[in-house]
């Protein structure tokens, strides 16, 4: 379809206790069309290209009448079906932190630094990219678009056991657009 006229990229991430059927609702007939089996957790996030005003439902795979999510797309973004829960438990992490630091120290020895003419100076983002980033943040800054990041299985890089770590997953094509434009500003 056209890249204008309300075309957006939108993601669905499932933190419900079981897989769900993601369905598009035909605006004329009201009939639902199955798109994906939406498995649980961040690694199973599904992004689609769709249009502003399109309606999606996520339903129980065993009971098509049990609607868990009913959402009308309004912008580029993502929506969580429920939210992830990281365990906040007291634990001795000294050994895990030592192992992580050792691994990160070894990795830093392989890094080669290169800088553009800009170096560490401040630069101005192009207005269209800044506007796109700002709009994305504004539209996705609150739950159910902002979600808890899954740190309980990723190590000790972030102290998720003491405080929540939130994130807004950026749609792939939007991220590619931003990175391509930013690369031009910073590459050597």
What are the residue ranges of helices labelled H in the chain?
94-108, 127-140, 172-186
pLDDT-derived band at 53 (thresholds 50, 70, 90) equals very high
Looking at the DSSP bridge assignments, the partners of residue 46 are 12
CB 166 within 8 A of CB 146: yes
* Weakest-pLDDT range from 6-20, 21-35, 94-108, 112-126: 112-126
Query: What residues have CB less than 8 Å from 110, skipping those under 6 apart?
Result: none
What's the pLDDT score for residue 137? Answer: 96
**179, 86, 78: which is closest to 136 by C-alpha?**
78
Largest pairwise CA distance in the chain: 60
Per-residue tokens: 57: 């439902």
For residue 188, pLDDT over 60 is answered with no
pTM: predicted TM-score of the whole model, two decimal places: 0.80
Structure-model confidence comparison of residues 187 and 32, the more confident one: 32
- For 22, half-sphere exposure in the C-beta direction (CA atoms, 13 angstrom radius) is 25
Q: Sign of the C-alpha dihedral, residues 18, 21, 22, 25?
A: negative
* DSSP letter (8 states) at residue 119: T
Q: Choose among 24, 23, 20: nearest CA to 38.
A: 20
What is the residue-averaged pLDDT of the chain? Answer: 87
- What pLDDT was estimated at residue 119? 63
């Amino acid at each position: 379809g056209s890249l204008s006229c309300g075309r957006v990229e939108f993601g669905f991430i499932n933190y419900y206790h079981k897989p769900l059927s993601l369905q598009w609702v035909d605006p004329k007939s009201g009939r639902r069309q199955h798109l994906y089996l939406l498995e649980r957790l961040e690694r199973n996030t599904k992004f689609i290209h769709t249009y502003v005003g399109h309606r999606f439902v996520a339903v129980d795979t065993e009971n098509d009448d049990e609607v868990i999510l009913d959402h009308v797309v309004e912008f580029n973004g993502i929506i969580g079906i429920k939210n992830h829960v990281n365990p906040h438990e007291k634990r001795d992490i000294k050994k895990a932190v030592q192992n992580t630091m050792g691994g990160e120290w070894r990795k830093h020895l392989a890094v080669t630094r290169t800088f553009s003419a800009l170096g560490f100076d401040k630069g101005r983002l192009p207005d269209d990219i800044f506007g796109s980033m700002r709009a994305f943040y504004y539209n996705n800054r609150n739950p159910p678009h902002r979600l808890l990041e899954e740190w309980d299985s990723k190590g000790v890089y972030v102290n998720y056991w003491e405080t929540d770590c939130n994130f807004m997953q950026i749609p792939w094509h939007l991220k590619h657009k931003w990175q391509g434009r930013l690369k031009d500003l910073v590459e050597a």
